[in-house]
Amino acid sequence: MSAPTLPEPSQVKNILIVRADHLGDLIMGTVLIPPLQARYPQAKLYFLVQRGHGALVRCLPGVAGALEWDLDDKQLRNPLKAWWAARKFCRFADTLHFDLGIDPKGLWLNAGLLHRLDIPHRVGFADGGGGFLLTQVVSVDQADTPFERLEKLLAHLECVVPRPLQAHFPVYPARQTDTQAVLVFPGASEVNKRWPWERFQDLIERMLQQTPFPVKILGGPAEASWLLAAVQHWNPDPARVQVELLQSTAALIEAMRSGVLVLSNDAAPAHLAAAMDIPSITLFGAQDPADWHPYDPVRHAVLYAYVACRPCGLRYCPLIGADYIRCLKHISVDEVFLKVQMKMNAHD
């Protein structure tokens, strides 16, 4: 029996990319759009995304639509809920008749969805356990970075791989200069990605003394339990410091338009800043910046500490006491403020 072959570009009318994971991963996944457009010029490109993330990709040229998954990342760990959501989703997605399905993550659930939709050509990775449900498996090495995996995926699909491979969003009109601000995102999806709040507070106080821009402290629903209380306890000048909880991806994109500089932990705002070409400073802890950092080192700075245990890649730091998240504690306010000054001087 001959091995499955890729379809001819003229035969592909609808393509589905499954990217129903974290927002930062979705942003990185958008690098697939231009090469796929060039390879399959007659095809319509759709993304399957997590609930609420559709606004991020619907605005991009070449994207015909975004199908939103009804479950968040934690709920997907419940097999019964995942099965029921998949059944409900497939009833709708069946009407689009996809010709090519792509799983850039390598998850069994993604491959299962592509198989359930009877997509004739299903391409992706096998390291998440779903390789037997794909028609073609892309070979990768364990040491490959996320971008290297995407490059191999595109090469397997016979696409021309651009160099460097990076996300890029349309340039949104900036707001008026008097409303521009330094955007600070002190939260992250995992505890061991969060630089201590006390350090953020000290840094913001220094920025207010030496930079002309106000500061906006932004977070999402996950930060609601502590961010507002922390800022209220600090009680900064409300004319210079604002705090806002963003309730949707659309609100995040809108807020980013006012940014003259983005200061963030290793989280989605850092990836979005790079994609929207907004200067940024990203603080790395457990993760390896070689895997996730923006390609432009001039506009986007990364900071991390040289400690023996990093990068560990763990969701929770196993150390206790003074050593807890020492990879982040070893990043000093002085180091970050120096980077801020450099970015502000470049802006002037």
Centre a 10 Å sphere on the Cβ of residue 33 and count the other Cβ atoms it contains: 19
Class of domain 177-347: alpha beta
Domain boundaries, given as residue ranges, for the chain: 9-156, 177-347
Residues 296, 52: Cα–Cα separation, whole Å? 29
Of 33, 14, 37, the residue nearest 101 (C-alpha): 14
pLDDT tens for the chain, residues 1 to 348: 445 789 999 999 999 999 877 888 888 889 999 999 999 999 999 999 988 888 888 888 889 999 887 665 555 566 676 677 677 777 777 788 999 999 998 888 888 889 988 999 999 999 888 899 999 999 999 888 888 899 999 999 999 998 877 777 765 555 555 578 999 999 988 888 899 999 999 999 999 998 889 999 999 988 888 999 999 999 999 999 999 999 988 899 889 988 999 999 999 899 888 888 889 999 998 888 877 666 677 788 999 999 998 888 888 888 888 899 999 999 999 999 999 999 888 766
Statement: 9-156 belongs to CATH 3.40.50.2000: yes
CA quadruple 140, 143, 144, 146: dihedral positive or negative? positive
Residues 51, 72: Cα–Cα separation, whole Å? 7
Of 303, 254, 295, the residue nearest 275 (C-alpha): 295
Indicate if 177-347 has the same CATH topology as 9-156: yes
